[in-house]
Structure 1
Amino acid sequence: MGHLYALDFDGVLCDTCGETAISALKAAKLRWPDLFGSVDSSTEDWIVEQMIKVRPVVETGYETLLLVRLLLETRVPSIRKSSVAEGLTVEGVLEDWFKLKPIVMEEWNENRDDLIDLFGKVRDDWLENDFAGWIQGNRFYPGVADALRFASSKVYIVTTKLVWLLSLLIA
Structure 2
Amino acid sequence: MATETPAILALDFDGVLCDGLLEYFQTSWRTYCQIWQPDNQTIPDNLDASFYRLRPVIEIGWEMPILIRALIQGVPENTIVADWSVVAQDIIKLDKLEPATIGKEVDSTRDEWIATDLEGWLALHRFYPGIIERLDQLLRSDNSTELFIVTTKEGRFVKQLLQQQGIQLSEERIIGKEIKRPKHETLRQLLGQYPGTLWFVEDRLKTLESVAEQPDLNNVRLFLADWGYNTKAQRDSVSRDSGISLLSLTQFVQDFEVWH
- Aligned position for 2:179: none
Partners in 2 of 1:100 and 1:125 — Cα distance? 29
User: What pairs with 1:139-154 in structure 2 (closer than 5 Å)?
Assistant: 139-151=126-138, 152=141, 153-154=145-146
Taking only the aligned residue pairs, the percentage that are identical comes to 27
User: What pairs with 1:58-77 in structure 2 (closer than 5 Å)?
Assistant: 58-74=58-74
**Structure with the larger helix share:** 1
Task: Tell me the alpha carbon deviations over residues 14-43 of structure 1, each in whole angstroms, 9 at most, x when there is no partner.
Answer: 11222111101001111111xx231424x1
Task: Tell me the alpha carbon deviations over residues 45-76 of structure 1, each in whole angstroms, 9 at most, x when there is no partner.
Answer: 522221111110001011011111111121xx
State the number of aligned residues.
154
Give the drift of 1:2. Answer: 5.8
- Aligned position for 1:80: none
Which runs of 5 or more residues in structure 1 are unaligned?
A: 75-87
- Aligned position for 1:8: 12
Task: Tell me the alpha carbon deviations over residues 92-117 of structure 1, each in whole angstroms, 9 at most, x when there is no partner.
Answer: 21111022111111111111111010
Which runs of 5 or more residues in structure 2 are unaligned?
A: 165-260
Partner SS for 1:23: helix
- Matched letter for residue 81 of structure 2: L
Question: What is the CA RMSD across the aligned residues, in angstroms?
Answer: 1.8
Change in 2 beyond 3 A, CA 1:2/1:99: closer
Partners in 2 of 1:39 and 1:72 — Cα distance? 12
- Aligned position for 2:147: 155
Give the drift of 1:3. Answer: 2.5
Partners in 2 of 1:147 and 1:24 — Cα distance? 31
The alignment status of 1:30 with 2:22, answered yes or no, reads no
User: What pairs with 1:100-115 in structure 2 (closer than 5 Å)?
Assistant: 100-115=87-102
Partners in 2 of 1:128 and 1:149 — Cα distance? 30
Query: Could you tell me the TM-score, scaled by structure 1's length?
Result: 0.82
**2:33 and 2:41 in contact (8 A); partners too:** no
Of structures 1 and 2, the one with the larger relative CO (CA 8 A, separation 6+) is 1
- Matched letter for residue 73 of structure 1: Q
- Matched letter for residue 47 of structure 1: L
**1:149 and 1:169 in contact (8 A); partners too:** no
Q: Greater shift after overlay, 56-65 or 45-54?
A: 45-54
**2:70 and 2:87 in contact (8 A); partners too:** no
Larger-gyration structure (1/2): 2
Task: Tell me the alpha carbon deviations over residues 146-166 of structure 1, each in whole angstroms, 9 at most, x when there is no partner.
Answer: 211220322101133322222
- Matched letter for residue 120 of structure 2: G
